[in-house]
């Protein structure tokens, strides 16, 4: 099974180069992806185009390990193993879907940093709203099942926990763009929509650089033990590991392919409620580092982008499906993500084993 998948990946890489050339010759800024149908070892036709980000490795692995033929895509960080596609290029999306004819699409690409979205609204809306709309329309036309990753920031945080059918009321442009792009759009599509939305809270996972996520970047504050630093201690968060999200994505897609009634909005979240300050203290404790330089801040800075105080997600709809994904405890999950950034990487062996 693994050989099959690997061979497919190499073929995709070659195709990627070919399509890239074609795209360049048309003077497009970005490249397109390629399609083709793959077959897994058991003969089933299972193909996915993975449009992800920080969780790409985990998600690809999660699907591949279950026999899916995975076609991962990226943009600026696309590597030889990933196809490069600018999702703001409508032709690129169409070309991608027409060539590969995927059965399932996981759409994760977004500008998800609220402050950046406020500063560069047009570019963010292009990706979060317009590209998502195009992808949703094209997926519906091609008959692919689209799983759209959304956010708890669609809620205002004033009356948690939020059920799947509760009315969204985003406080910032990022939340609005996720709502407009991925969620409301489905009502207006002219063809039958075969899609689900998975809302998740703040994420963390394996990263190349700790600055890739709001959670792993706390490592920089924890390590700077010589200087005191303030950390938010009023916004309640539920940090969730991307590996758990990847497992939910896979199981939800597999169920949805068997059962056409599995559509609409789902929530997934870890259970531990923490502020950023509490996450940082937990990280310090996990690595036996001092935490007395960390100072809890109990008021939101007036100048910052508005964020919900507590947008806890009620996940009962997903729980009814019994997908058996138990969120990992924060301390062990974050330790796994951060140990490569410790000065002495042998730390992991000495502490965990």
Ligand X SMILES: NC(=O)c1ccc[n+]([C@@H]2O[C@H](COP(=O)([O-])OP(=O)(O)OC[C@H]3O[C@@H](n4cnc5c(N)ncnc54)[C@H](OP(=O)(O)O)[C@@H]3O)[C@@H](O)[C@H]2O)c1
The nearest distance, CB 226 to ligand X, in angstroms, is: 29
Contacts of 52 (CB under 8 A, 6+ apart): 59, 60, 72, 73, 74, 106, 108, 109
* 243 belongs to the binding site for ligand X (CB under 6 A): no
| Subset of residues 246 to 275 that bind ligand X, contact rule: CB under 6 A | none
The nearest distance, CB 138 to ligand X, in angstroms, is: 14
Phi and psi at residue 24, to the nearest 5°: -60, -40
Q: Are 46 and 40 in contact (CB under 8 A)?
A: yes
Shortest-Cβ-distance residue relative to ligand X: 53
Return the number of other C-beta atoms located less than 10 Å from residue 39's C-beta. Answer: 13
* 87 belongs to the binding site for ligand X (CB under 6 A): yes
Three-state SS at 245 = helix
Distance from CA of residue 197 to its chain's centroid? 12
| Subset of residues 277 to 336 that bind ligand X, contact rule: CB under 6 A | none
CA separation, residue 162 to residues 180, 245, 314 (Å):
18, 18, 5
Task: Work out which of 12, 47, 62, 86 binds ligand X, going by CB under 6 A.
Answer: 86
Distance CA 210, CA 205 (A): 10
Q: Which is nearer to ligand X, 40 or 312 (CB)?
A: 312
Q: Which is nearer to ligand X, 4 or 236 (CB)?
A: 236
The nearest distance, CB 341 to ligand X, in angstroms, is: 17
* 78 belongs to the binding site for ligand X (CB under 6 A): yes
* 110 belongs to the binding site for ligand X (CB under 6 A): yes
The nearest distance, CB 288 to ligand X, in angstroms, is: 27
Supply 47's token pair. Answer: 């193909």
Binding interface with ligand X (CB under 6 A): 52-55, 74-78, 85-88, 108-110, 112, 127, 149, 151, 178, 200, 202-203, 212-214
């Amino acid at each position: 099974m693994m050989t099959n998948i690997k061979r497919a990946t190499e073929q995709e890489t070659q195709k990627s180069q070919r399509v890239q050339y074609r795209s360049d010759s048309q003077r497009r800024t970005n490249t397109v992806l390629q399609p083709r149908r793959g077959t897994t070892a058991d003969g089933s036709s299972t193909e996915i185009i993975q449009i992800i980000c920080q969780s790409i490795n985990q998600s690809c692995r999660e699907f591949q390990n279950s026999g899916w033929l995975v076609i991962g895509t990226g943009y600026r960080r696309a590597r030889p193993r990933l196809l490069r596609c600018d999702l703001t290029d409508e032709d690129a999306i169409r070309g991608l879907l027409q060539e590969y004819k995927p059965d399932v699409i996981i759409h994760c690409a977004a500008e998800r940093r609220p402050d950046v979205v406020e500063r560069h609204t047009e570019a963010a809306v292009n990706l979060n709203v317009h590209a998502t709309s195009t992808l949703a329309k094209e997926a519906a036309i091609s008959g692919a099942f689209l799983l759209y990753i959304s956010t708890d920031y669609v809620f205002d945080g004033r009356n948690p926990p939020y059920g799947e059918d509760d009315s969204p009321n985003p406080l910032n442009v990022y939340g609005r763009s996720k709502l407009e792009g991925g969620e409301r759009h489905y009502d207006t599509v002219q063809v039958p929509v075969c899609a689900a939305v998975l809302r998740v809270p703040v994420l963390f996972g394996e990263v190349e650089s700790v600055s890739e996520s709001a959670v792993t970047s706390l490592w920089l504050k924890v390590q700077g033990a010589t200087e005191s630093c303030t950390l938010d201690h009023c916004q309640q968060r539920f940090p969730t590991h991307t590996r758990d999200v990847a497992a939910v994505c896979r199981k939800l897609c597999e169920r949805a392919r068997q059962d056409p009634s599995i559509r609409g909005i789902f929530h997934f979240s870890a259970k531990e409620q923490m502020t950023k300050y509490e996450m940082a203290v937990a990280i310090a404790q996990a690595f036996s580092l001092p935490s007395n330089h960390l100072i809890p801040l109990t008021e939101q800075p007036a100048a910052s982008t508005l964020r919900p105080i507590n947008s806890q997600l009620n996940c009962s709809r997903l729980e009814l499906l019994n997908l058996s994904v138990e969120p990992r405890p924060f301390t062990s999950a974050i330790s796994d993500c951060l140990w490569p950034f410790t000065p002495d990487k042998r730390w992991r062996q000495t502490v965990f084993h």
